[in-house]
A and B are shown apart, each in its own frame.
Chain A
């Protein structure tokens, strides 16, 4: 570290390549490097005061952008719950297939958008807030396991969420090995290699 204290300014050492890129960015925005860097540090301090770091905040922002681009929207939870519960009672499997197919679409979309689509999907579940309070993932070469907790979700919506996750993970090249689904709790275990024919569970 190299600091030269003056009355109002200090020197902070930084990698030359980054400084060059920041100079270019500052020029593009018509700002001095000094002001541009000050703004960056102001935001870094702000992120810290939010108990986050800039990387995390940018990651979450990117997920929000993925949601927007993928056509996900916010809707009042009560309306969603009510409609799902009532329609599910008479559903012939259409609703379950719709969630599964939408999940598959997300999987394909993430494959196009990301170099690491499985990681992107996990982050989407963790930070994209499908009303999931907790998403834990265990991953090794043989298996990929999800455990999702959503105390707010009804039994019907839990099943639909499971179908959505299955659809996405199937299109990311995995097949279902095992699954458990209770109200608000989803546990899914996958292994690589897609099934020839993937269908959602429609026995429930």
Chain B
């Protein structure tokens, strides 16, 4: 037995695709497949837009070995100042793109799978950001820290104090005046 509203909708979809029996069969097979993978269909559909929204925001997929090596190489060849500036400016762009601290936090959590812990907490005029990743190299940590600083700066927060060491970014910001 199925709820009548759902059954009607399913009937309508099935009528455009073939027989109801085949459509129901297909849907239930996929449900069993998801179950076999230890997934809920809802979470699969929720994640459906991850790749698209990442792409729309200007992120691209790269094997981590390549990006970590490339960044290290670029840091050595192009210079620390140049690379820090590039990551900071890119972070600023993302801050302006998301326009909202919670949205930015959500996107970092969703897109950066190599981060094991990412948290932004607010208390009065202060924002504390913690980012942990066992995979980050020292160089990558420094640059990613600048990326985060740039984003929060564009969102109206100025860095107050911070600690950055391999795989650990801990930054404290204060709301800038006039924002």
Say whether A associates with B.
yes
Chain A interface mostly: helix
A107 to B26, CA, bound (A): 31
Known contacts A18-B25, A73-B64; is-contact A45 B32 (Cβ 8 Å) = no
**Minimum distance in angstroms from A66 CB to a CB of chain B:** 11
For the complex, is A130 an interface residue (Cβ under 8 Å from B)? yes
Query: A25-B35, A39-B41, A42-B6 are known contacts. Are A75 and B67 too (CB-CB below 8 A)?
Result: yes
Q: Mark A68-95, 1 if CB is under 8 A from B, else 0.
A: 1011111111111011101100100011
CB of B117 within 8 A of chain A? no
Do A102 and B25 touch (CB < 8 A)?
no
Instruction: Enumerate chain B residues within 8 angstroms of A83, measured Cβ to Cβ.
Output: 70-71, 73-74, 78
In contact, A73 and B30 (Cβ under 8 angstroms): no
Check A58 against B6 for contact (C-beta < 8 Å).
no
Residue in A6, A9, A41, A74 whose beta carbon sits within 8 Å of that of B54 in the complex: A74
User: Which residues of chain B have C-beta atoms less than 8 A from A131's C-beta?
Assistant: 55, 60-61
B50 within 8 A of partner (CB) = yes
Chain A interface bracket (under 10, 10 to 19, 20 to 34, 35 or more):
35 or more
A6 surroundings in chain B (CB, below 8 A)? 4
Q: Return B67 CB to nearest CB of chain A, in Å.
A: 5
Please give the distance in Å from B53's CB to the nearest CB on chain A: 10
The stretch among B16-24, B119-127, B153-161 that forms the contact with chain A is B16-24
The answer to whether B4 and A9 have CB atoms under 8 Å apart is yes
Give chain B nearest CB distance to A71 CB in angstroms: 5
Provide the residues of chain A in CB contact with B86, threshold 8 Å.
78-79, 82
Nearest chain-B residue to A40 (Cβ)?
B31
A44 touches B55 (CB 8 A): no
Shortest distance between the CB of A95 and any CB in chain B (Å): 7
A40-B28, A41-B6 known; A61-B61 Cβ under 8 A? no
Question: Judging by beta carbons under 8 Å apart, are B29 and A18 in contact?
Answer: yes
Contacts of B80 in A (CB 8 A): none
Closest B-chain residue to A61, C-beta based? B44
Residue B102, interface by CB 8 Å: no
A8 within 8 A of B: yes
Pick the contact of A130: B19, B60, B71 (CB < 8 A).
Answer: B60
Q: Is A72's CB under 8 angstroms from B6's CB?
A: no
A75 and B64 CA atoms in complex are apart in Å by 9
* Contact code string A1-32 (vs B, CB < 8 Å = 1, else 0): 10101111111111100110110010000000
B10, B29, B41, B59: the one contacting A76 at CB < 8 Å is B59
A39 in contact with B42 (CB, 8 Å): yes
Once the chains bind, are A10 and B60 in contact (CB under 8 Å)?
no
- A93–B114 Cα distance when bound, in Å, is 27
Across the interface, name the chain A residue whose C-beta is closest to B71.
A83
**Which residues of A have CB within 8 Å of B30?**
44, 53-55, 58
Beyond A38-B2, A43-B45, A61-B44, is A72–B64 a contact (Cβ under 8 Å)?
Answer: yes
Query: How far apart sit A99 and B62, CA to CA, in the bound complex (Å)?
Result: 10
Q: With contacts A46-B45, A64-B47, A83-B71 known, is A58 near B25, CB below 8 A?
A: no
Known: A54-B27, A130-B62. 14 other contacts (CB 8 A): A6-B4, A12-B24, A21-B35, A25-B31, A43-B42, A71-B64, A73-B63, A78-B86, A80-B62, A86-B78, A99-B66, A102-B66, A129-B54, A131-B60
Nearest first, the 9 A-B pairs at minimum CB distance are A54-B30, A10-B7, A43-B41, A74-B59, A83-B74, A74-B111, A40-B31, A44-B27, A77-B60
